[in-house]
Structure 1
Amino acid sequence: MKLFKISFIITILFSFFGCQSIVEDINDVDPNKIATVSGEVLFTGIQLADIAGQSGILSQAGGVASGYFVGADRLNFIQNYEYINTDSNTPWNNIYQGVVKQARELRSGIDVPNKDFFYGASKVLEAHAVGTAANIFGDVPFSEAANNDIPTPKYDGQVSVYMALQDLLDEAISDLQNAGTSGGIGEDIFFGGDSGNWIKTAYTLKARLYLDVRDYANALSATQNGISSSTETMKYLPPNTLGADTNLLHEVITGSTSGGAIAANGSFLIDLLGTGSESRNNAKTNEVDRAAYYYDGTDINDSGIAGVDEPMNQISLQENLLIWAETSLRSSASNFDTALMKLNEHRANLRNGVYFPVNTGVYDDYVEADFLAGGIENADSSLSKEDALLREIIEERYATFFTTVLGFNDLRRMKKDPVAIQVPVPFNVGSKHPERFLYPFDEENTNGANVPEIADIFVKTAINQ
């Protein structure tokens, strides 16, 4: 493989993470010479590109639109729902140049010691990256993407992309089952080469993608083979080497070039976790510790969720449990007990400090009576017990997915639900929440004939119409 094929992605990755300590000796290569790179090193780059795509501007701007953050400085535009298409350039390049192109290059025949493992894991990463792109942008390139013979790839319909990603994940699971590795692959920064953890991650990702398109039965089925322990969560552990390789949110709020771009004071989530009129606290819930982990009192906690070496979740145990809870109930009202059990399993992890330190916070188990008319989760008796439980699950998802793109995805997906069970995120301006982000300027400049014409960020994507 020619080195120039990965030079762009390395530039992007290093601008986000300074990954010299991870991709060891890569700077010893003369960039002006044609050379080869091992599939293992390329795989690490794919992982890092996926992290950058998931945890960069898409999650930050989505967080501003979803009541998690208050946009300031360079993100003041999204606070006012004025998204700039040049801000899509970097995440798009991370997804398509950093993940899709390199994953397909890896699977084109580069020598790797365990082809089934690297092929399977790279397919999971590709599905993760493209799934986010499809959710955020709508129609996106897939079938013709990253093909050197097709410089202007067509855009596939959003729904068809979701279907194709399910097929890709099925292939990934088959590859990883054949690989049967249990470790010993240092270039895998998520799981060290444990194919079993990758398989579980693939199933949770399948559940996410089915949930996005409201295929609740298949989402429920997938969760049952998904992540079942916090040790199986796909997360990046920043090594914090000599002040670099740190948590990306930490970089955003403290860095010299982007510091101050997002704040927290006045955000809806602060109110939801606090003690004011929007508080979700009740006799069985006290969010004091989650609030302290997220915020330092007025701003994002750079010693908590934005600590320099704080793990950055990508696909997690909490996501799997909450999909299981939601899809159980949406699949059938008779699944009330199962949905409640999965919510309580998640709450047990909360009170046991699995997700963040807990000292005085309270997350007691709920019982059926709490959701009946007059119960603590249905005090005004306005909902059925099923809708009252669903409302709590949706609100818990909102509280859980702070700093990820999932909160933004949920906000748009839930618009088809009755208002009474939606999280009442206020509008920053006007009377509509953003429904997507604009296609990148670079893509319009180079592939303009194929880029869908979207008037503004309030145009719903196909799956949310």
Structure 2
Amino acid sequence: MMKITKKIVRNLGLFLVLMMASCDSYLDVNENPNNPEDAPISGLMINSTYESAKNIFRVGDITSNYVQYLASPNPASASDTMEPVSNNNTWFNIYNVMTDLTVLIEKAEEQEANHYKGAAQVLMALNLGMGVDIFGDMPFSESFTFETVTPSYDDDEQLYAMIMDFLDEGINNLQGETTVSMGEDDFIYQGDTTKWIAFANMLKARYMIHAKETSDYSASEVLAAIDNGFQSIDDDAKVAFFEQDINPWADVARDNADLLLGGWISEQFIQALDGTSYPAVDPRLGLMVGTTDDDTFVGTVNGAGRGNAPEQGARSTLVEDQYYTTITSPILIATYSEQKFIEAEAAFEIDKNRSYQAYLAGIRAHMEMLEVPQEEIDTYLADPSVSMGEGAFALEDIFKEKWVALFLHPETWNDARRFDYQYKDMDVPVNLNPDLNGQFIRRLPYPDNEVSRNGQNVPDVTLLDRIFWDE
């Protein structure tokens, strides 16, 4: 990823303050003197690319406990036990970005800035998809006209059709002529439209694989999108951070070091990589999480808390200066590794050899991203429990390795629900919310603020009601 210029870095903080103050989503229908319609498309692109990456973190921060990457150090914590916590900030941040993108699309259309419009449509698909995947039905069709504070909800399956339309239209616009070209105001690809087109195709594959159990699913269409998607880890969609506004996972690690406890690693994740749950010891473990003061890896049981180990350093946590937690580490939006695992799943029933090779390539891509030494990569891939051969290769192998490779990413919760949480040794948390009847959570509740503002339209759902692709 190209370096962000010092000029953009200097201006970003002030710009974000102004933009976030102006983006009131559909809830404010009064005239706003700082309305984002007054912002230039370049400024809207800065904010939209940056805040889209932050939304990946915001959703991942919620879901990482559900998929047992992280665990709370405190017993019976709501984040572990799957209580119906209101996620007002996440809801509003998703809508704030979509509000900016709505304006960006309109302004780019007026100026015939088709590349900006195409990139904005891809980001709209990304943010809308994040929202639908965790909440289900959402207000969209009536949300950005500033004509109502009580917009109706669109059906989740219909919203998925809109997501695919945004991606197709985005690709078309990115392939066409433009009056204005993107540059360093694009924090993801610095205006490289070829990579934007690959990103859009990768997202098409991501959202199509979600719908694998529906009647509209086509494995050949997923593989066609992948053929036009990422070609290597150099194509990964990501936003790097900087010392003025550090990577949010680095902030979690720093807070934990200062005894503001967070980022404790689940026992499930530790044991999946340390040779306990699976035969192979994974060399990525020490590059992703920290050791205890005794230089060992010890996880925390989800829902049970730290038990008799109250001292800092008695459990593994996120620690500073690793790949995911360096101040300038990128937030990964979509990766070549993820795409290879999507390919492996899509090809499994129709081309087993392609599926198996994609599975191995997905592991290698993630290890190379983490800069695992080549000898250790070769040793891990040579283990018969990892390279089991095409005949013994199963879907659960794909889901397990994808779970490792998408560490802290919200996409894993979509996989966990599609896979019915059948990861080896993954049990429901201790002190589980009794309303779940011993089952894993399937969706987030609608935010309290949305219920109070738009209660007549908010669907009546429980935490066990499923998104359409999970039924």
Fold shared, TM-score > 0.5 on shorter chain = yes
Q: Distance in 1 between matches of 2:461 and 2:191?
A: 41
Q: Distance in 2 between matches of 1:106 and 1:28?
A: 18
Q: Distance in 1 between matches of 2:369 and 2:155?
A: 39
1:215-226 equivalences under 5 Å are: 215=217, 216-226=219-229
- Secondary structure of the residue aligned to 2:397 is helix
* Amino acid in the other structure paired with 2:40: S
Map of 2:357 onto structure 1:
341
After superposition, give the CA deviation of every residue in 1:7-28 in whole Å (9 maximum; x if it has no partner): xxxxxxxxxxxx9635276389
Deviation at 1:107, TM superposition (A): 1.9
- Secondary structure of the residue aligned to 1:347 is helix
1:193-272 equivalences under 5 Å are: 193-214=191-212, 215=217, 216-241=219-244, 245-255=245-255, 259-264=260-265, 266-272=266-272
* Amino acid in the other structure paired with 1:138: G
- Secondary structure of the residue aligned to 1:226 is coil
Greater displacement, 199-208 / 19-28? 19-28
* Amino acid in the other structure paired with 1:172: G
Q: Distance in 1 between matches of 2:16 and 2:65?
A: 37
Deviation at 1:40, TM superposition (A): 0.6
After superposition, give the CA deviation of every residue in 1:64-104 in whole Å (9 maximum; x if it has no partner): 0111000246992121221311xx1111111112x211111
Change (3 A) 1:409 1:280: farther
After superposition, give the CA deviation of every residue in 1:106-150 in whole Å (9 maximum; x if it has no partner): 122368876101110011111001101111111112222222113
* Amino acid in the other structure paired with 1:170: D
Deviation at 1:363, TM superposition (A): 4.2
Change (3 A) 1:309 1:203: same
1:186 aligns with 2:188: no
After superposition, give the CA deviation of every residue in 1:262-292 in whole Å (9 maximum; x if it has no partner): 311x43111111122x1351xxxx412x101
- Secondary structure of the residue aligned to 2:341 is helix
Which of these residues, 319, 322, 330, is aligned with residue 338 of structure 2? Answer: 319
1:459 aligns with 2:465: yes
- Secondary structure of the residue aligned to 1:246 is coil
Q: Distance in 2 between matches of 1:428 and 1:415?
A: 15
1:72-83 equivalences under 5 Å are: 72=73, 76-83=77-84
Does structure 2 retain, via aligned residues, the 8 Å contact 1:120–1:171? yes
Map of 2:287 onto structure 1:
293
Which of these residues, 439, 448, 463, is aligned with residue 441 of structure 1? Answer: 448
Change (3 A) 1:275 1:449: same
Map of 1:65 onto structure 2:
66
Does structure 2 retain, via aligned residues, the 8 Å contact 1:293–1:301? no
After superposition, give the CA deviation of every residue in 1:173-210 in whole Å (9 maximum; x if it has no partner): 00000147997611001111111111000000011000
5+ long unaligned stretches in structure 1: 1-18
Does structure 2 retain, via aligned residues, the 8 Å contact 1:103–1:123? yes
1:328 aligns with 2:369: no
Tell which has more relative contact order, 1 or 2 (C-alpha 8 A, sep 6+). 2
1:402 aligns with 2:407: yes
User: TM-score under structure 2 normalisation?
Assistant: 0.80
- Secondary structure of the residue aligned to 2:145 is coil
Does structure 1 retain, via aligned residues, the 8 Å contact 2:337–2:363? no
Change (3 A) 1:343 1:130: same
Q: Distance in 2 between matches of 1:147 and 1:246?
A: 34
Q: Distance in 1 between matches of 2:76 and 2:427?
A: 18
Change (3 A) 1:33 1:153: closer
- Secondary structure of the residue aligned to 1:432 is coil
Change (3 A) 1:357 1:240: farther
5+ long unaligned stretches in structure 2: 1-7, 22-31, 292-315, 433-437
Which of these residues, 384, 388, 391, is aligned with residue 393 of structure 2? Answer: 388
Change (3 A) 1:448 1:258: farther
Does structure 1 retain, via aligned residues, the 8 Å contact 2:289–2:318? yes
* Amino acid in the other structure paired with 2:275: T
Map of 1:44 onto structure 2:
46
Change (3 A) 1:366 1:378: closer
Does structure 2 retain, via aligned residues, the 8 Å contact 1:321–1:343? yes
Output the aligned Cα RMSD. 3.1
Does structure 2 retain, via aligned residues, the 8 Å contact 1:203–1:223? yes
Map of 1:6 onto structure 2:
none
Does structure 2 retain, via aligned residues, the 8 Å contact 1:96–1:146? no
Q: Distance in 1 between matches of 2:64 and 2:469?
A: 20
Does structure 1 retain, via aligned residues, the 8 Å contact 2:272–2:278? yes
* Amino acid in the other structure paired with 1:81: M
Q: Distance in 1 between matches of 2:198 and 2:9?
A: 29
Does structure 1 retain, via aligned residues, the 8 Å contact 2:381–2:387? no
Q: Matched residues, percent identical?
A: 20
Does structure 2 retain, via aligned residues, the 8 Å contact 1:235–1:313? yes
Map of 1:362 onto structure 2:
377
Q: Distance in 2 between matches of 1:200 and 1:280?
A: 36
